[in-house]
Structure 1
Amino acid sequence: MAISLYQRANIVMHPNDDTTNILRFLYLKGNSTAAQIIDFIPPIIIIIVAGIAIQNVYSVNIGTVFSFIFNGILIAAADKWIWPELKHNFAS
């Protein structure tokens, strides 16, 4: 819910959240789920490469997996159900 409100207000954005908004509104027709998944691709590639290089992965746990699968879905739901009058303040 907080990410949804924060992205809609769009006052000062963390680069990762701003990337999600750019992908969502400029390239993916407002699809937050696809934007979130695409935004996770570079870190996933880094995790895979590092895991292969050091033969171990320390950075992935249930929270990482949950975030990858559900963040976009939860953002879209919160956009619809939590303070729906607050519109995205995103200028392309």
Structure 2
Amino acid sequence: MYFSDGQYFELTLKQKISYFFISLLIISIGNGISIAAQLGAAPWSASAVNLSLTTGQPIFLFLTIEALLAVVINAFLVDKVNWFKFFGNIIFGLLFSFLVSQTAKLMSGSVGSLPLIGKLVVDFIGIWMVGVGISVIQRANFVLHPLDSLTNLARFKFFHGSAPLGQFSNFIVAISISLICWLISGKIDSVGIGTAYSFFFQGNNIAWGDRHLFKNLLHIDPTKIGG
């Protein structure tokens, strides 16, 4: 939904596709560079890193599994399943998983060689990019990453539209996964100051994106339309 000159407009397919790719790139690159900084990634990315560390399997595998599980949960939270968005969420999740794992791999050398303060700046920028990208793609309401769709559903279904509370509830599960991995393996990675920043302030980053980036692009309640 778009607001301009006192009127509300439905987004065209071209606009939705444009917002889709803009958001996908912002979110994927943000996650990738925060993983490469090794000072704490967004909680779901950190959980995939720690599952990989514990099992020896690639990060891509666990990013994909998390996305597919979120698709199933989303289907139970909506009044009616939108099958286009159902399969679109899967496609987004697969593209996202590939781009994040590749970005982290490509950037690990250059970002890893930075001094501590440089890594911290990159980490915070990456996590901020994730929040801003989530804001755009939630409002475009075309195809979301399944975990972002889950956050958006929780935001409106349980928390009266509060972005911070919706994000907070989502992240509790992700951080719990990393802690379980630590208890099993005795090792933990990608959990640190960046994760704490994401946990407590990502909802605010999303809300900032709502107000300042493509600000005429409006939220609608996803529980009423499915997907």
Alpha-carbon offset, residue 65 of structure 1: 2.4
Q: Which amino acid aligns with 1:7?
A: Q
- Higher helix proportion: 2
Aligned match for 2:161, one of 11, 30, 38:
30
Q: TM-score, normalised by structure 1?
A: 0.87
Aligned match for 2:195, one of 64, 81, 84:
64
Q: TM-score, normalised by structure 2?
A: 0.38
Alpha-carbon offset, residue 78 of structure 1: 1.7
- In 2, Cα distance between equivalents of 1:68 and 1:49: 17
- In 1, Cα distance between equivalents of 2:194 and 2:150: 21
Residue 24 of structure 1 contacts residue 30 of structure 1 at CA under 8 Å; is this kept in 2? yes
The secondary structure found in structure 2 opposite 1:79 is helix
The secondary structure found in structure 1 opposite 2:209 is helix
Aligned match for 1:54, one of 180, 185, 191:
185
Q: Which amino acid aligns with 1:22?
A: L
Which of the pair has the greater relative contact order for Cα pairs under 8 Å at 6+ separation? 1
Q: Which amino acid aligns with 1:50?
A: C
Residue 10 of structure 1 contacts residue 90 of structure 1 at CA under 8 Å; is this kept in 2? no
Q: Taking every aligned residue pair, what percent have the same amino acid on both sides?
A: 37
- In 2, Cα distance between equivalents of 1:63 and 1:23: 23
The Cα offsets for residues 38-73 of structure 1, whole Å up to 9 and x where unpaired, read as 101111111111111111212313332222122101
1:8 alignment counterpart: 139
Larger radius of gyration: 2
Give unmatched runs, 5+ long, in structure 2: 1-131
Runs of 4+ in 1 over 3 A off after TM superposition: none
- In 2, Cα distance between equivalents of 1:91 and 1:7: 9
User: Residue 74 in 1 paired to residue 205 in 2?
Assistant: yes
The secondary structure found in structure 2 opposite 1:37 is helix
2:3 alignment counterpart: none
1:84 alignment counterpart: 215
> What's the RMSD between the two structures over aligned residues?
1.5
The secondary structure found in structure 1 opposite 2:222 is coil
Residue 151 of structure 2 contacts residue 170 of structure 2 at CA under 8 Å; is this kept in 1? yes
Give unmatched runs, 5+ long, in structure 1: none
Residue 24 of structure 1 contacts residue 35 of structure 1 at CA under 8 Å; is this kept in 2? yes
Alpha-carbon offset, residue 89 of structure 1: 3.7
Residue range with higher mean Cα deviation, 66-75 or 20-29: 66-75
Alpha-carbon offset, residue 75 of structure 1: 0.7
